[in-house]
Structure 1
Amino acid sequence: MRVLFLCHNHPGLQPGGTEVFARGLFRTLRDRHSVEGMFLAAVTGAHRERRPGTLLQGIGDAPDEALVWLGHFDRFSMAQPDTYGLASLGPVIEALRPDIVHVHHLLQFRGGDGGPAPPRRAASPAHLHRARFLPALRPGGPLLTTDGRLCSGPSPDRCQACFPGRSGADFVMRELQMRDVLGEFDRILTPSAFARDRYLAAGYPVRQVQVMPNGIAALPPAPHRAAAKGRRDRFGFFGHLNRFKGGMVLLDASRRLSAERVDHGVTLHGGAAYQSEAFMAGLATALADAPAARHHGPYEAAGLSGLMAQVDWVVVPSIWWENAPLVIQEAFLHRRPVICGEIGGMAEMVRDGVDGLHAPVGDPAGLARVIRQAIETEGLWDRLAGNIRPPLTIEAAALLHLDLYRDTLGARAA
């Protein structure tokens, strides 16, 4: 079987959850199941300088992984006007002659005619929130209004409130174009039931939308920290620091706990690339006001186990719905209970009072209350940690995808 993977970025340049899982799936299928193919990742000037006259660039030593220069994507219309860049994929597709084109995210790759993937050849975009609901990404953030409130999804009236410069016709045309594009896919895969239900509520066919969970590399779990008198009061944040991931909410919660003289520690691991000067200034102020918190900057995947060994809990304080955060799978791999928002894909992955705790979204005082409960409730950490189920492995996810590919090809041949 030959599979072409298209991903909106490469984990070597941007180690987000989608990128990490997409490449891990590609390599697992290649190395363990004899699947041939290519992993092509879009790249822009934000991540790498373009080489003159070159649209396809290698990355690392992998002969079957490459970067595609696509630097002009229109995030509102989900269209790529750089037809020259898309055309560079033609020879690759012709040479590979893929049986399946698996698109992990429509960002960057979707051209005016639906993108470079041969019609009816794709598995699916893997993340709902960045495809169907992309208008909410600008300028207010993922499924957030411009004033920071949770958005339940696009409608002409709601979208025009956030995009006053756009006409109602713009939103209608975008909706029709997206339905045309996604209608060409054999499957729309979502890593959570939450995302699937959003697609179904929007009117996409039940037969087309399927939950396909992400997987994670099976590694030995980090040892639990030796806790004096059983006090589990060390909390870790892992991920990119931006307003959507809620790091500022966690810092404010930590500030409140210090003011209440609650002994605890918060470590934030992750970079803050591409953030505004105003955000960085606010981050510096928030850190200065939270004496129990420390920001340790970016980290490498190879060092995650050592960082997990220093914390008792993982906090996912995102202020929007999320979908299927990789960090929750990583926390459960290392047997750390998770404190997260009570909505969306986070709440689906973390069972409140079973293997983690839910907290009010975007509410520093509410998060502080839950963190204090986590520290002061005797036996709570041991019970939650004991209930953690190992996350799906990348090998198990690869087998699920392989079965899906075969079913898809069989249905086409019938």
Structure 2
Amino acid sequence: MRILFVSYMHPAVTPGGAQQVADELRRAAIASGHEAYMIAALEADQESDFGKPGAPIVPMPGEENQYFYFPQHYNFTHNSVGEWRSLKFFRDLVAEIAPDVVHFHHYHRIGVESIRAARLAVPNAKIGVTFHEMMAICLAGGQMVRTTSRDLCRKATPIDCHGCFPHLRPEFFTLRAARLQALFDECDFFFFPSAFIAQRYREWGLDPAKCHVIPNGQVHPAPAVDRSRHSRLLNRFGFFGQFIDNKGIDVMLDAILVLARERRLPENGLEITINGGNRHYASEDYLAKVDALIAEIRALDDNLVRIHDLGRYGRDELAERMTMVDWVIAPSTWWEVFGLVVSEAWMFGRPVIVSDIAGLGERVKNGVNGFTFPARNSSALADLIEKLTGDEAAWRRAHQAITPDWSDLDMFDAHVTVWDATAQIPASHPAPAPDDRAPDSSDFHAKRRSGKKH
């Protein structure tokens, strides 16, 4: 099978969950004996480093069958590419590759018109999208967080959206949704990493018969990694992920200050490690708030809280950084769709402490395979940090309850199962009814062990 993956960004250029999943699917496809290609749409300001003047698409340096795409005149409001020449180059390259499957991982920067361009280029191919966020539903960066109050939004209606963007009339949002839905209708399937986001998109208007929930997988570390090690004091807490507004670093730091002000810090103190990249995507107000919280904590005269801001990290550094902490905190303040950091923590046997929201709450069962607290509630997080510090029994229970997460090969096999099923359905017949339950990865483990090929 020849498969083309189309991604927003590339992990070799900028870290991020969507591009990581797309690239690991590509690698898994190759490992499974298929022919795989990648087109990664980069940001406009990256063209000077990775592109060539006048060339919308260029080969990725040093790589085979991978390309960087620089669509021109991108419109963030409409997720739209406004230049026909960029789309023509994209369409011509897709036609030249002639894939059996075109799998989009995002539409931001790529442009929703690229779906139509792919359909024109390879009319008999199977085409689909994995939704890693809610940008089609929500104009506020797909976060579904109100721009005025920062409250969580539970449903996008024209009236509510007008409240966030008063310069746009309610009917604008009706027309925007209709246009996007019409372009998505070119697809044969839609993939979602959690039941939460699948339900949001079905409520928004996507065809339920095309919707499939497949959890994100990833490459697992070598067996030599000792997943059971922890510090003697069990007082090391770590944040991993994007250093942006809705990831909740401020909630974690607020919780530490609650403990400090109420003199509830443990006798041996706390070690707090921040592993976060892409600070340039955070707002100035958020960065100022986080920096002020860190400065206030560091100004404490008892030295009971030691903060280490280690910055961004690559995949090759993940094992080392995970071994530096006992617990991983994911204090997201938005509707976290999946939470790849949970998979990364579990991969190294680290119990997680997460906001009980959306995909995070869907995956982490409080007191079983991790611990949860109400989203945005720094006081509740403070209570949890105090309770878990030094509690080896709780650490062991959560550690032992962590089940093997999906590998990249499991994830790929699950996609192939859907591609094969849709390939057997005549265009005049409906697809099978969707199943909100994530497939059991053990089925794909067993199939791969048996040597079954697709």
Query: Is the pair's TM-score, using the shorter chain for normalization, greater than 0.5?
Result: yes
1:143 matched residue in structure 2:
144
- 1:233-382 to structure 2, matched below 5 A, reads 233-259=235-261, 260=263, 261-262=265-266, 263-271=269-277, 272-291=279-298, 292=305, 293-375=307-389, 377=391, 379-382=393-396
- Larger mean Cα displacement after TM superposition, 231-240 or 102-111: 102-111
Distance across 2 between alignment mates of 1:28 and 1:144: 35
Distance across 2 between alignment mates of 1:145 and 1:11: 30
Task: Check conservation: 2:245, 2:283, Cα contact below 8 A.
Answer: no
How far residue 73 of structure 1 moved from its aligned partner, in angstroms, is 2.3
Change over 3 Å in CA distance of 1:321–1:338 after alignment to 2? same
Distance across 2 between alignment mates of 1:236 and 1:113: 39
Task: Check conservation: 1:79, 1:108, Cα contact below 8 A.
Answer: yes
Count residues with an aligned counterpart. 408
Task: Check conservation: 2:113, 2:183, Cα contact below 8 A.
Answer: no
How far residue 101 of structure 1 moved from its aligned partner, in angstroms, is 0.8
Task: Check conservation: 2:227, 2:350, Cα contact below 8 A.
Answer: no
SS at match of 2:424: helix
Distance across 2 between alignment mates of 1:225 and 1:297: 24
How far residue 118 of structure 1 moved from its aligned partner, in angstroms, is 0.8
1:167 matched residue in structure 2:
169
How far residue 258 of structure 1 moved from its aligned partner, in angstroms, is 2.9
- Larger mean Cα displacement after TM superposition, 387-396 or 75-84: 75-84
Q: Encode CA deviations 1:264-316: one digit per residue, 9 max, x unaligned.
A: 21100122123344333322212112232221111121011011111111111
1:69 matched residue in structure 2:
70
Task: Check conservation: 1:8, 1:107, Cα contact below 8 A.
Answer: yes
Is the counterpart of residue 133 in structure 1 residue 134 in structure 2?
Answer: no
SS at match of 2:79: coil
Distance across 1 between alignment mates of 2:242 and 2:132: 20
TM-score (ref. length: structure 1): 0.93
Q: Unpaired segments of 5 or more residues in structure 2? A: 299-304, 430-454
RMSD of equivalent CA atoms? 2.0
Q: Encode CA deviations 1:214-267: one digit per residue, 9 max, x unaligned.
A: 111021345444433xx3211111111111111111111122223323322110
Q: Unpaired segments of 5 or more residues in structure 1? A: none
Q: Encode CA deviations 1:160-189: one digit per residue, 9 max, x unaligned.
A: 000000012211111111221122211111
- Larger mean Cα displacement after TM superposition, 100-109 or 52-61: 52-61
Change over 3 Å in CA distance of 1:306–1:378 after alignment to 2? closer
- 1:224-235 to structure 2, matched below 5 A, reads 224-228=228-232, 231-235=233-237
Residue identity over aligned pairs, in percent, reads: 28
- 1:34-45 to structure 2, matched below 5 A, reads 34-45=33-44
1:52 matched residue in structure 2:
53
SS at match of 1:152: coil
Task: Check conservation: 2:126, 2:423, Cα contact below 8 A.
Answer: no
Letter in 2 for 1:278: D
Task: Check conservation: 2:244, 2:283, Cα contact below 8 A.
Answer: no
Distance across 2 between alignment mates of 1:276 and 1:199: 27
1:124 matched residue in structure 2:
128
List structure 1 segments (4+ residues) > 6 angstroms apart after TM superposition: none
Distance across 1 between alignment mates of 2:354 and 2:314: 23
- Larger mean Cα displacement after TM superposition, 376-385 or 308-317: 376-385
Distance across 1 between alignment mates of 2:113 and 2:107: 12
Distance across 2 between alignment mates of 1:112 and 1:90: 10
Q: Encode CA deviations 1:42-77: one digit per residue, 9 max, x unaligned.
A: 012343424212211232421111100024322222
Change over 3 Å in CA distance of 1:226–1:276 after alignment to 2? closer
Q: Encode CA deviations 1:107-128: one digit per residue, 9 max, x unaligned.
A: 1223458542216745432125
Change over 3 Å in CA distance of 1:333–1:351 after alignment to 2? same
Change over 3 Å in CA distance of 1:354–1:47 after alignment to 2? farther
Task: Check conservation: 1:222, 1:308, Cα contact below 8 A.
Answer: no
TM-score (ref. length: structure 2): 0.85
